[in-house]
Chains A and B, each alone.
Chain A
């Protein structure tokens, strides 16, 4: 009753829902129910909170100095409805950052669960490890790693400013899709301060090995963009990612799969 698509085997080239076949004009029952289940899983991922304590302990065990900060968000529902509150720190966090009085660093590094706690739990530590190593390789200094549950990308502006960093980088759980509930993104902003616009940021997305971008490629691209941002004193649409694959040769892990 349903018709199979003869190009079904092309599915090995993509996670997209191709070659599903059809029943009349509709998707066959099995494909339809599979979709429903995937949607249910994504819905659950959105509403899962981030237990930040174990994550901070893992960072401490690596010899790093995580700072736990907070926004004024109470819970996940509140987070979804009030992006404005997710863009700034609460007063306690703001005060504590101001009192730290640390020496200025090149990069302020921030981690938040964003719209997917699953992403930061699955990939956060490994990506951070790659990023810290990539910055060390090019002798860029980073400040304390700031962990901020339930934040939006723009919280990096305020934190970067308070830490007097030249560049802010935030690692954020991207919104779950049906095929991927565990994708991380990184946003880089030169001269961070509240009021920066999205056009002034560079973004790397879909960091989610093995299906998406791997940690080393992401970290190498980030380090490259950071150096470019520092040299040219700019970030965002004016700073194009012109890093060719040649810049990545010498390490087989770093070859972009084209």
Chain B
């Protein structure tokens, strides 16, 4: 079935729904690299007009990627809840946008009635302010040793990476982060190598820090899921199981995973029963362009593939989902403008699907972006109600060689928007004298007993 319209006497025609979706996407390098992008601004605008008239139902009737060939497509269709979908079942994409903006109810009841493709479609005809206004009405609350995602709260992943996984170097960054009030979403290390013994040492270091100082947070070493499974089998202290995921079966295969494997890992982590206030044990990371990078996009645009990854995440009730938005590089998101747009789209699509969305607000040194662009996205996502952001010393990850947000950046956002850490973690910061009881760093943080106690980690 093709789609067409006549504009100023000229007929514009799109071969199928996925072509229409790609052509209607706001301009980005990934779709240009894949040869899917609109060839002119007018072609894009016309595609958006035609897309607005497409009934939402059509995304159920005409899957963009055939379910016979893709387990993610099968998952999306099998999990679709017709009752939750009923209130919007008769709407077109454009009417759905109006409905979202006019309504002011809690959108969480809608999550299981929506599919990634419906949300990707509507996001393509939404402005940045629309994406913010609607997403901030979705609160997604999760828990492990603390409660994440509550209204008025913003959490951070403390990311203390080190180029050689040196435990003292990592401990130094953890101390810095905790004394700046960071780390309630997770203290999460990207290991320099996936070596089993190395990952286990790091897990034990994090477990010791959390246990010794009674920190209401959780740890993660971001190794491959199979490494985490092997380590759980060996009895290592695994709080959260991490995995990068994508929106097609073939892209996931390129990551060495499938749905069954993720299910197995989740069951193993749940059985360890290490949570206190909740039992969400999965931590997923995603990013626009991953399916294209794996040559596994099936002609579907990068943003729609990304939204499909959230259907994968949703199946496993994660504690945290992190769109690592500018990490993959300028061949996917060329500049600050594209990174900002993608960050808002990802947060919107993830939240409406019912996910605890955070964002690694970041860029690489080969992208046309800088810290000012990150300030903009940081502020916008704070307004949009993002669950968590990264906290990295000075915003500079010395292991992964990219820039993200710093401990200072989180303090800025807390100050200008009045956002507080997760409640259990906030109480701990106040008790330890790191925070002043009024959501700010204590003037006397220099003298906090926590510093001398934490220094024992390095001695």
Say yes or no: A206 contacts B163, CB within 8 Å.
yes
Question: Which residues of A198-234 have CB atoms within 8 Å of chain B's CB atoms?
Answer: 198-199, 204-206, 208, 211-213
Q: Give A39-82 as 1s and 0s: 1 = Cβ < 8 Å from B's Cβ atoms.
A: 10011011000000000000000000000000000000000111
What is the count of residue pairs linking A and B with beta-carbon distances less than 8 angstroms? 188
Interface size in chain B (residues, C-beta < 8 A): 69
Question: Which of B14-22, B195-203, B350-358 contacts the other chain?
Answer: B195-203
Say yes or no: A212 contacts B201, CB within 8 Å.
no
Say yes or no: B408 contacts A82, CB within 8 Å.
no
Say yes or no: A22 contacts B195, CB within 8 Å.
no
**How far apart are A24's CB and chain B's nearest CB, in angstroms?**
8
- Chain A residues with Cβ below 8 Å from B161 are 16
Question: Which of A123-131, A136-144, A163-171, A236-244 contacts the other chain?
Answer: A236-244
How far is it, in angstroms, between the C-alpha of A244 and the C-alpha of B406 when the chains are bound?
Answer: 34
- Chain B residues with Cβ below 8 Å from A81 are 29, 33, 330-331, 334
Please judge, given known A-B contacts A27-B406, A31-B394, A81-B331, whether A14 and B162 are in contact too, CB under 8 Å. Answer: yes
Say yes or no: A6 contacts B166, CB within 8 Å.
no
Question: Which of B46-54, B75-83, B170-178, B280-288 contacts the other chain?
Answer: B170-178
Size range of the chain A interface in the assembly: 35 or more
How far is it, in angstroms, between the C-alpha of A199 and the C-alpha of B253 when the chains are bound?
Answer: 8
Q: Give B131-175 as 1s and 0s: 1 = Cβ < 8 Å from A's Cβ atoms.
A: 000000000000000000000000000001111111111111101
Q: Give A13-35 as 1s and 0s: 1 = Cβ < 8 Å from B's Cβ atoms.
A: 11111111010111100010001
Say yes or no: A83 contacts B408, CB within 8 Å.
no
Q: Which of B294, B329, B458 contacts A198 (CB 8 A)?
A: B294
Say yes or no: A14 contacts B196, CB within 8 Å.
no
How far is it, in angstroms, between the C-alpha of A10 and the C-alpha of B451 when the chains are bound?
Answer: 11
Question: Which residues of B403-434 have CB atoms within 8 Å of chain A's CB atoms?
Answer: 403, 406, 408, 411-412, 414-415
**How far apart are B450's CB and chain A's nearest CB, in angstroms?**
10
In the assembled complex, B396 has its CB within 8 A of some CB on chain A: yes
Which residue of chain B is the closest to A24 with respect to CB atoms? Answer: B415
Say yes or no: A241 contacts B194, CB within 8 Å.
yes
Question: Which residues of B353-412 have CB atoms within 8 Å of chain A's CB atoms?
Answer: 364-366, 370-371, 392-403, 406, 408, 411-412
How far is it, in angstroms, between the C-alpha of A80 and the C-alpha of B331 when the chains are bound?
Answer: 6
In the assembled complex, B267 has its CB within 8 A of some CB on chain A: no
Please judge, given known A-B contacts A16-B169, A18-B173, A236-B256, whether A82 and B33 are in contact too, CB under 8 Å. Answer: yes
**How far apart are B162's CB and chain A's nearest CB, in angstroms?**
6
How far is it, in angstroms, between the C-alpha of A208 and the C-alpha of B398 when the chains are bound?
Answer: 12
- Chain A residues with Cβ below 8 Å from B451 are 6-7
How far is it, in angstroms, between the C-alpha of A130 and the C-alpha of B146 when the chains are bound?
Answer: 48
Say yes or no: B162 contacts A16, CB within 8 Å.
yes
- Chain A residues with Cβ below 8 Å from B393 are 14, 16-18, 20
Question: Which residues of A162-185 have CB atoms within 8 Å of chain B's CB atoms?
Answer: 174-180, 183
Q: Which of A82, A183, A237 contacts B401 (CB 8 A)?
A: A183
Q: Which of B168, B224, B366, B396 contacts A179 (CB 8 A)?
A: B396
- Chain B residues with Cβ below 8 Å from A237 are 224, 226, 256
Which of A16, A27, A39 is most buried by chain B, counting CB atoms within 10 A of its CB? A16
- Chain B residues with Cβ below 8 Å from A236 are 256
How far is it, in angstroms, between the C-alpha of A198 and the C-alpha of B401 when the chains are bound?
Answer: 19
**How far apart are A177's CB and chain B's nearest CB, in angstroms?**
3
How far is it, in angstroms, between the C-alpha of A15 and the C-alpha of B370 when the chains are bound?
Answer: 21
In the assembled complex, B179 has its CB within 8 A of some CB on chain A: yes
Q: A16-B161, A16-B396 are in contact. List 18 more A-B contacts (CB 8 A).
A: A5-B179, A7-B175, A13-B168, A13-B169, A14-B398, A16-B160, A16-B169, A17-B396, A35-B371, A43-B365, A177-B397, A177-B400, A177-B401, A178-B365, A206-B163, A212-B164, A236-B256, A245-B197
Instruction: Spell out A's residues near B (CB within 8 Å).
Output: 3, 5-7, 10-11, 13-20, 22, 24-27, 31, 35, 38-39, 42-43, 45-46, 80-84, 115, 174-180, 183, 197-199, 204-206, 208, 211-213, 236-238, 240-245, 256-258
6 smallest CB-CB distances across A and B, nearest first, come from A17-B394, A177-B401, A199-B256, A14-B169, A18-B176, A197-B254
